[in-house]
Amino acid sequence: MTDIAPLRTGDPARLGAYELLGRVGEGGQGSVFLGVSPSGERVAVKLLRPDRGGAAGTGTAATRFQREIEILRRVAPFCTAQVVETGLFGTRPYIVSEYVEGPTLQQVVESAGPLRDARLRRLAVGTMTALSAIHRAGVVHRDFKPSNVLLSRDGPRVIDFGIAREVDALATGSGVVGTPPYMAPEQFEAASVGPPADLFAWGSTMVFAATGKPPFGMDSMPAIVNRILHREPDLGDLGGDLRDLVVECLSKDPARRPAAKDALLRLLGARGRQPDGELLTAGTAVAAGASGAALESASRTGSEVLIETPGIAPRTRETAVVTPRPGEAVPAPGGPENQPAWRRRVTALLTGVAATVVLVSGGMVYALVQGGSPGTAKVSASPTPTVVREAVDAPATRTERVRLPELKTTLHEAPGDPVRVTSFIHLTGSVSYSYARDPKSGKFESIGPYHEPAVSPDGAWTAVLPWIKMNIPGPHDSIRLIERATGREFVVRTVAKPLANYNPFWSSDGKRILLTTYKDSSADQIVGFVVVDVATARATAVTTDTLMPGTSPFMWAPGESTVAVRFPDGSGVGLRLFDLGGKTVRTIPAVGEPSSRENTFSPAGKRFVTMCPDKVATVCVWDTRTARRQAAFPAPAAATLVGWYNDAHVMLIDRTKDPRRVVVVNLKGEVVRVLAEIPADEFDGTGESFIPRFTKD
């Protein structure tokens, strides 16, 4: 039975004539509610998010939502959860449709184990019948997977048309959409994605139903994609003619996969092709063990599908869908199969190896950005030293609670804070979702999966750096820049592949971005850095005179005419500084691990902070000019160094309590402020859930 969660604060109690009883699920477009009509009939109500659609009928999400309604109406009524009505809640569109009771295939297999014999056969027939009808309506689903198959009493139903597309609208390079373990090779290669992609996903879903795991694994994203592109599927003990059909559906070549209607005939024991109007007969449907709904539709039209868009599976997320924008990278192989580069970098964020300005807590990434008033940044091509005011004010004590999208983590913010969370990455398994904060509204907006966002200090720009490199179109790595005031976007090429860039750091004036260059996407050997000039949209790649092992990123050094990076030597861990031509200008040995979340140098540049090299759970503060230790204070036994709050306070993650706490401490180690509370289940210390980035105001 489908789980129904209570309504949340802010949820409407009614939509039109329908009373809302609870939440069925939530996805990238919006929320799905269980409702009841005036006559007492249960319905599903899908409501678009308030911050996605803008005015009624405007915005990308609203356009997709409207297209979903049109697709639902296009597919024959007996194939879908029938649309009852549509309407507006203020400016937010909603769909009221038939409510379909039942768990998803994903839930059934995970709780009760794989399907066998007649149950598996009925599933295969029912879902292939669904795909036949979808394709006959001129639609490609593009995200067929176990969590989008509902096992209702009258047979399996395919749900979630939020990213479906018309067959005649397909185009090369139109964007990668899908859920990685069930995506076809052409979806990773910027090729035309048509009905054969649904057949590939169907084959993968049948393997999951029969064995409990998809045929190309469920570990890291690059490893999964590499297997899909280059390896043979693992079909386990799937046997008989179903195995033969699945093998054909999982062909790397779309042209070698059968059409849905032909595959359905084979499942029903037929040989050869028949006209569209004679795909099934009542007799063949009964012989195949088809559901009652399949039998009814077969006798009526010859092809049957049961589709229900609003009935998203409980607590599943549409954010598992990979939807890069034009110019974005798409998921691709890269790095060791057991630990992809992006995952290793996230792990580094959580374990103290230097990484970009981020706080890591249970699967999210907070980004601290230097703030200011929103607007268009004026950028010059040449760097100039930045004059900063040394801020030593004590943190505010009166704060406002801020909740993050789809998480239980709570931020505690005050108007006078010198830093605040401006972006974060939410990691779930091998999938990541990125959010950036709108400088005007303060709301967090999704910017697509598998990317590392960084908001400029003045809030004028968001830099979006792909984590997974191989399938970025063309021979170069790249970074995407979004102007927040206008929505204007452009892509800047950085380095030639296989070189790869990670870890964006904005300069304090918002004019340049510093990226670390690795020899390849495994990110285990630094070869230099890149400086991106926003005004000219040009990147300058620099090779350093010394190779730097490990994954620690370059950061801006005080004055921003030099850059610094962590380096290990015989005397321990230190810092090495380079000029913008890549020449070593200074080495500071044996100071311990620097800040792993943001710049290790204080805002005024007079100090830098590390975990002490000679004492466990102790923070050291050093004089930048002399490299002499100025202070040392104890940290919690399980603590992560984040960076500077202002010139007299640093930020730590205290992992000794539940919830985990991001705290501000003075240079005596006294906690003077809590910045965030992160439940333990959203912070597991391995990079599996939440990584925030802070920006200076």
CATH number of the domain residue 49 falls in: 3.30.200.20
**8 Å CB contact between 314 and 656:** no
Residue 579 structure tokens: 């000029």
State whether 41 and 156 are in the same domain: no
Per-residue pLDDT band at 684 (split at 50, 70, 90): low
Kindly state whether residues 155 and 47 are assigned to the same domain: no
Amino acid letter, 416: G
| Residue 580 sits in the same domain as residue 459 | yes
Choose the final residue of a domain: 563, 594, 625: 594
What integer pLDDT is reported at residue 74 of this predicted model? 58
Residue 601 included in any domain: no
Q: Which of 124, 149, 131, 113 lies closest to 243 in space, CA to CA?
A: 124
117 and 89 in a common domain: no
Q: Are residues 88 and 112 in the same domain?
A: no
Q: Are residues 445 and 370 in the same domain?
A: yes
CA atoms within 13 Å, Cβ hemisphere of 233:
30
Residue at 620 is within a domain: no
pLDDT in tens, 159-209: 776 555 555 444 333 444 557 899 999 887 655 688 999 999 999 999 999
Share of the chain above pLDDT 90, in %: 32
Is the same domain home to 85 and 181?
no
Residue 533 lies in a domain: yes
143 among known catalytic residues? yes
508 found inside a domain? yes
Query: pTM here?
Result: 0.50
Domain boundary among the residues 594, 613, 642 is at 594
Query: Each residue of 272-325: pLDDT tens digit?
Result: 333 333 333 322 332 333 333 333 333 333 332 222 222 222 222 222 222 233
377 and 298 in one domain?
A: no
Residue range 427-441: mean pLDDT, rounded: 77
Single out the residue in 594, 613, 639 at which a domain terminates.
594
Total domains, the chain: 3
For residue 27, give its domain range: 14-98
Task: Identify which has the larger pLDDT, 276 or 668.
Answer: 668
Sign of the Cα torsion 111, 112, 114, 120 reads: negative
Report the percent of the chain where pLDDT is more than 70.
Answer: 70
Pair 114, 188 in one domain: yes
Confidence of residue 536 (pLDDT cuts 50, 70, 90): very high
Which alpha helices (DSSP H) does 370-484 contain, by range?
Answer: none
pLDDT at 389: 38
Does residue 624 fall inside a structural domain? no
- Give CA–CA dist 129/465, Å, rounded: 41
**Which stretch of DSSP H or E encloses residue 18?**
strand 18-26
pLDDT, average across residues 336-356: 38
Strand 307-308 relative to strand 155-159: parallel, antiparallel, unpaired? parallel
Cα dihedral value 339, 340, 341, 346, nearest 10: -70
Residue 340 pLDDT level (bands cut at 50, 70, 90): very low
pLDDT of residue 287: 30
In three-state secondary structure terms, 667 is: coil
Say whether both 377 and 474 belong to one domain: yes
The DSSP output letter for 386 is: P
Q: What CATH code is carried by the domain that includes residue 483?
A: 2.120.10
Same domain, 442 and 586: yes
Comparison of pLDDT for 499 and 470, the residue scoring more = 499
Residue 315 located in a structural domain: yes
Inside any domain, residue 621: no
In this structure, of 317-321, 403-407, 514-518, 586-590, the range with the lowest mean pLDDT score is 317-321
Distance CA 78, CA 124 (A): 19
Is the same domain home to 371 and 510?
yes
pLDDT of residue 65: 57
- CA separation for the pair 533, 490 (Å, rounded): 12
In a domain, 688, yes or no: no
Q: Which candidate in 143, 417, 458, 647 is catalytic?
A: 143
269: domain CATH number is 1.10.510.10
